[in-house]
Amino acid sequence: PNGARVPVLVIGTGYGGSVAALRLAQAGVDVHMVEMGMTWDTPGSDGKIFSGMRSPDYRAYWLRTRTKQPLSNFLGFPIDKDVPRYTGILDAEDFGGILVYQGRGVGGGSLVNGGMAVTPKRSRFSSVLPSVNADEMYNVYYPRANAGLGVNEIDRAWFDTTDCYQYARVGRKHAQRSGFEFVYVPNVYDFNYMKQEAAGAVPKSALNAEILYGNNYGKKSLQKTYLAQAKATGRVAISAQHRVTSVSPASGGGYTVAIEQIDTTGAVVATKTVTAGRVFFAAGSVGTSKLLVKLKATGALPNLNGEIGKGWGDNGNVMVGRANHLWDPTGSLQSGMPTGGIDNWDAGGAFAEVAPLPTGIETYASFYLSITNTPHRAQFSWNASAGRVDLDWQTAWKQSSIDMAKSIFDKINSKEGTIYRTDLFGTYKIWGDHLTYHPLGGAVLNKATDNYGRLHGHPGLYAIDGSLIPGNTSVNPFVTITALAERNIEKIIATDL
């Protein structure tokens, strides 16, 4: 409520925020979480909470009047369509040089992501987070994160036979024939539920193309894991459809947090202020960076250091499709949850997830989202005349990611005698190089913060989300975000409270 005083306020309800809230509550601290997106607990008139991927409706996009599908075309035809403006679940935030996809709602990115729960190879960890003790991460915090997230692995015998992973088996075959390592990737989607879907025993979700715009059944999003546990403590309150706009030192100690309550059209219906003893920035890499850059530049938090807004990367994301021969169909039924990848990181700088293309018809296409070892880092800055935060990402920077992805796919194409698809991202456009699903950095650990996420210059302020990670994790990021948050909050509880 307006004017309230709370011991701890957490901005955002994604991975970092959910870990912080649960562990603080278990330590006996009352926590108030503020989330600009919706609660996503009430079915629409079709009986479902989330809209499917084949027919995105008003629930699909954050305050857009037209969909902005990552794959904009199919068989050469544009597939975007008009939708009513609504506080939908997926934000396609346009920074000029790059489109950054993010989840909006209680659960953050866990609502919209592919559930791939990947722990980086230990040998690569020191290049991801050089100041963090790898022994502690791999002995304590990665296992804790995997347990808390409900990560599970596919039954290999089922993988080898089920129709819905034919696309992944084709991906495996092509990878291995070209001499690449194919790795099975754990997921937070309940694979036992998926088996029952395949058997026709339960309502379909992964097998009904429910990715990107929310998952109605089998995925263990944060609402079912960390946030459910946090609420069960009785110490965590969540205000959805509330957006934090400012944090500044309060005269009597602590911080004054300014908050706008919004309706489903995005209109502001109330403004509130709360005083918080401590504030955790967990608004995601982009959300946290935008707030901190603005608050430093406008003088609300003048003592933040010069590292704020720096070290932002796209995890080297680039997408591509390959056209298979007629004897290599990928299947008309494709599970929306990927469970395999091609690892060519050490030799070529790319880790490619074998992704679904769940159109419902046979496309003979193999589709991949690559994570690459891109060297490029962008910076957020305050644009005073426009009153917004800009990001100086250059479109040409994707070329190095394309080159690294080609270390895998040029070889596979040459071995298989196949070609790239040119119809998925426009007309005669091969690479999906305009976007990222994995924004990282902007308040980098041990630079903008100390080695545990305490923001320099303002005691009691913390960053605890993807903004801490400098641009790349070598694999899909949410397990690392969760594990780092587990590590940092343990230290903060032990020493700051």
Is 438 an annotated catalytic residue? yes
**Complex with ligand FDA: residue 211 or 411, whichever CB lies closer:** 211
CB of 245 to ligand FDA, least distance (A): 7
> Does residue 14 touch ligand FDA according to CB under 6 A?
yes
Residues with Cβ < 8 Å from 32, sequence gap 6 or more? 4, 6, 8, 9, 10, 236, 237, 238, 239, 274, 276
The catalytic position among 35, 353, 486, 490 is: 353
CB of 155 to ligand FDA, least distance (A): 19
- What residues between 457 and 476 interact with ligand FDA by CB under 6 A? 465-466, 476
Q: Per-residue string for binding with ligand FDA, 96-115, x by CB under 6 A?
A: -----xxxxx--xx--xxxx
Residues pairing with 435 in the sheet:
99
Stretch that binds ligand FDA, among 30-38, 142-150, 227-235, 262-270 (CB under 6 A): 30-38
**Complex with ligand FDA: residue 74 or 364, whichever CB lies closer:** 74
> Does residue 116 touch ligand FDA according to CB under 6 A?
yes
Selection from 309, 247, 266, 336 nearest residue 439 by Cα: 309
The catalytic position among 438, 458, 486, 490 is: 438
Is 434 an annotated catalytic residue? no
Q: Per-residue string for binding with ligand FDA, 186-225, x by CB under 6 A?
A: --------------------------x-------------
- What residues between 379 and 438 interact with ligand FDA by CB under 6 A? 437-438
**Complex with ligand FDA: residue 389 or 418, whichever CB lies closer:** 389
> Does residue 368 touch ligand FDA according to CB under 6 A?
no
Stretch that binds ligand FDA, among 35-43, 294-302, 324-332, 397-405 (CB under 6 A): 35-43
**Complex with ligand FDA: residue 113 or 330, whichever CB lies closer:** 113
**Complex with ligand FDA: residue 172 or 243, whichever CB lies closer:** 243
CB of 428 to ligand FDA, least distance (A): 25
CB of 110 to ligand FDA, least distance (A): 6
Contact 83, 61 (CB under 8 A): yes
The neighbour count for residue 156, using CB atoms within 10 Å, is: 9
- What residues between 36 and 95 interact with ligand FDA by CB under 6 A? 36-37
Among 9, 20, 34, 49, binds ligand FDA (CB under 6 A): 34
**Complex with ligand FDA: residue 254 or 284, whichever CB lies closer:** 284
The neighbour count for residue 104, using CB atoms within 10 Å, is: 26
> Does residue 11 touch ligand FDA according to CB under 6 A?
yes
**Complex with ligand FDA: residue 389 or 405, whichever CB lies closer:** 389
- What residues between 220 and 249 interact with ligand FDA by CB under 6 A? 243-244
Stretch that binds ligand FDA, among 167-175, 280-288, 360-368, 455-463 (CB under 6 A): 280-288
Among 6, 8, 10, 12, binds ligand FDA (CB under 6 A): 12
The number of residues that bind ligand FDA (CB under 6 A) is 39
Pull the structure tokens for residue 452. Answer: 């545990």
**Complex with ligand FDA: residue 13 or 401, whichever CB lies closer:** 13
Token pair 């084949």 is found at 54
> Does residue 284 touch ligand FDA according to CB under 6 A?
yes
> Does residue 371 touch ligand FDA according to CB under 6 A?
no
- What residues between 477 and 496 interact with ligand FDA by CB under 6 A? 477-478, 481
What secondary structure, in 3-state letters, does the chain show? CCCCEEEEEEECCCHHHHHHHHHHHHCCCCEEEECCCCCCCCCCCCCCCCCCCCCCCCCCEECCCECCCCCCEECCEECCCECCCCECCEEEEECCCCEEEEECCCCHHHHCCCCECCCCCHHHHHHHCCCCCHHHHHHHHHHHHHHHHCCECCCHHHHHHCHHHHHHHHHHHHHHHCCCEEEECCECECHHHHHHHHCCCCCCCHHHCCCCCCCCCCECCHHHCHHHHHHHCCCEEEECCEEEEEEEECCCCCEEEEEEEECCCCCEEEEEEEEEEEEEECCHHHHHHHHHHHHHHCCCCCCCCCCCCCCEECCCCEEEEEECCCCCCCCCCCCCCCCEEEEEHHHHCEEEEEECCCCCCCCCEEEEEEEECCCCCECEEEECCCCEEEECCCHHHHHHHHHHHHHHHHHHHHHHCCEECCCCCCCCCCEECCEECCCECCCCCCCCECCCCEECCCCCEEECCHHHCCCCCCCCCHHHHHHHHHHHHHHHHHHHC
**Complex with ligand FDA: residue 411 or 466, whichever CB lies closer:** 466
Residues that bind ligand FDA (CB under 6 A): 11-16, 34-37, 101-105, 108-109, 112-116, 212, 243-244, 282-285, 287, 291, 437-438, 465-466, 476-478, 481
Active site residues: 353, 438
